[in-house]
Amino acid sequence: MNYLDSLLVLTGVLALSMISPGPNFAIVTSTAINMSRRAGVIGGLGLAAASGTWTMLTLAGLGLVIVHAAWLYTAIRIAGALYLIFLGAKMLWQAKKPPAPDVGPGVESESAIFRKAYFVSLTNPKSAAFYGSVLAVMLPLHAPFWFSAAVVAIATLLSALWYCGVAFLLSAEPVRRRFAKARATLDAVIGVILMGLGAKLLAGP
């Protein structure tokens, strides 16, 4: 078996799954624009860590278990839905507050930003479905250790490059200035999107 070809195919599939819009993109976008470049990048690293975690779970066989164990998948779906609704409601509440002169990274600790992004991705049923089905069936049987390590590294690196890149671009001063006047509106829109995603997940497939 040509493992290098398999790695190339997996890399392409992982890249396509990461650039699709969803809660991960909403979180890193909001963090980068409303807080700072550093905060956005930290959020991106949290999402990358979650990608690595999901990949390791899949390689360990837990991804398939999550997808095929209805109760476990339901638990992840409900937990993720409630967390997204909580985050969305929190953003809507913040949107009602008077704008501060300058919103810096000190508003939320770096560890809290990392944990929030990590938990959003880890409780995302879309991630569970992708890693537990699409990625799981694409992994070669009895692959050597170096292949598994490479898949984890690629998933983590791709996620870091994409989400940190998004944070880097959206936190550029011209972009932040453009969104500064509409910050409350942006918070409200993203909050509604997150709550909508959460409500959709809560309603079930």
Number of domains in the chain: 1
pLDDT at 7: 87
Domain membership of residue 154 as a residue range: 3-203
**C-alpha to C-alpha distance for 49 and 46, rounded to whole angstroms:** 5
pTM of the model: 0.72
pLDDT at res. 68: 67
Q: How far, in Å, CA of 77 to CA of 48, rounded?
A: 20
Between 137 and 28, the more confident residue is: 28
The predicted structure's pLDDT at residue 105: 43
Among the listed ranges 73-77, 126-130, 177-181, which one has the minimum average pLDDT value?
177-181
Q: What is the pLDDT of residues 76-118, one digit of tens each?
A: 778 767 877 887 887 777 767 655 444 444 457 889 999 999 9
Per-state percent for the chain, helix, strand, coil, to nearest 5:
85, 0, 15
Q: Cα dihedral angle (91, 160, 128, 117), rounded to 10 degrees? A: -30
The 10s digit of each residue's pLDDT in 107-159 is 578 899 999 999 988 887 777 777 776 677 677 777 788 988 999 999 999 99
- Asked if the model's pLDDT at residue 199 lies above 80, the reply is yes
pLDDT at 169 over 60: yes
Instruction: Specify the pLDDT at position 25.
Output: 86
How many other β-carbons are positioned within 10 Å of the β-carbon of residue 73?
18
User: How many Cβ atoms are within 10 Å of 16's Cβ, its own excluded?
Assistant: 9
